Every structure is written in structure tokens, then in C-alpha cells.
Amino acid sequence: MTVVTVHVDDVNDHSPTFTFPNLVNNTVHVTSSAVSTTSPAPGHLLIAVCQATDADDGPNARLTYEIVNVSSSFSSSDQFRLGRTSGRLTMRVGRAETVSGSGPSENTTFAIAVRARDDGWPSLSSTATLYVVVVTTASIYDDHYWRSFTEPASGTSNTQHNHRSVFYTHFLTFDNRL
């Protein structure tokens, strides 16, 4: 009797696929008060956790993350941090230069290109864009900005009612672990 042992290695034939951000869900809103100079202390606010998967096995499926580009006229090179293995995206807060829009009711949008790269050979990668919108407090309470209307049920009047149903909550998380 002959015993044959076959060992099959995974070939790195799949690129990472982003589950967040993706084409359908790619925007995070943060209140301006969460990133203002009145924050409890300078640090970094957890904005989002970028996630990708890879259909390969072993090292070919192990992912690392990096920021490729940040597009905004208000950002500096160290405005955002991305955890290399965790995908945790944080934004610098509690400093005067964090966000400075041109008006009290102007929102600031950052387009952050994020890359997920596997540890395979050759290494494969994917890039996704996450939009971080810093919403000014004036915009949150502006009836015109957040106006939504209900459609009347059949047989009722055509009067439309303005509802304030948008809630913004920010979580201050000061954590040096990425």
C-alpha cells in the first residue's frame, strides 16, 4: 500500500472586498460640537470602523488598512488616523484647526480614500471612499435643511406637516488604541 500526501496551498487570487464603506453605505455624520475646541480634551474621536473581507485563506486573507488620500480644503495630513489592523478611523479633536468652515451653517465634508491590502504574494488590494460630514449645529436645527413631509392618507386633507425626526448623537471616545 502506498500513501500519498497532498498539500494544497492557497493561491492569492482574491482581492479584499469592502463591507464598510461600500457603494450603498459610505457616509458618516459627526456633529461639529464633537470635534470642536470645547471637546473635553485634545485627542481622537472614533468616527467609523472600516471593514473588508478576503475570500482567500491564511496570510492571503490577512488584511491591513491605510489611508490613501484625504480630500478637503480643511484637512491636514494628521487629521485622521486609521488602525493598521483594526480599521478604526479616528479624527483629531479638541484643537482650533480641526474644522473651520467658511460660515456658521456650512457643513464640512472629508472624502477619505481607504485601502485594504492582503498579506499574500503578490499582495492584492482594494480601495473605497468614506465620506465624513461634519455637520454644524446650525444645520441640525435649521427647519429648512431637515424638513421632511408626510404623505396624507387617502381621504385626509392635503396639509403637510413638518416633523423634526433627525437625531444626532456623538460618542466621545478618547482611546489611543487603534
Q: What's the mean pLDDT in 139-158?
A: 44
Per DSSP (E only), the strands in 37-107 are 43-49, 51-53, 63-71, 80-82, 88-93
pLDDT of residue 130: 96
| Composition of the chain by helix, strand, coil, percent to 5 | 5, 35, 60
Q: What is the pLDDT of residue 75?
A: 58
Residue with the larger pLDDT of the pair 117 and 174: 117
Side chain identity at residue 44, one-letter code: H
pLDDT at residue 31, rounded to an integer: 85
pLDDT at 178 over 80: no
pLDDT category of residue 135 using cuts at 50, 70 and 90: confident
pLDDT recorded at residue 8: 83
pLDDT at 137 over 80: no
Q: Does the domain formed by 17-137 have CATH 2.60.40.60?
A: yes
Highest mean pLDDT among 28-42, 116-130, 155-169: 116-130
d(CA 135, CA 104): 10
pTM of the model: 0.70
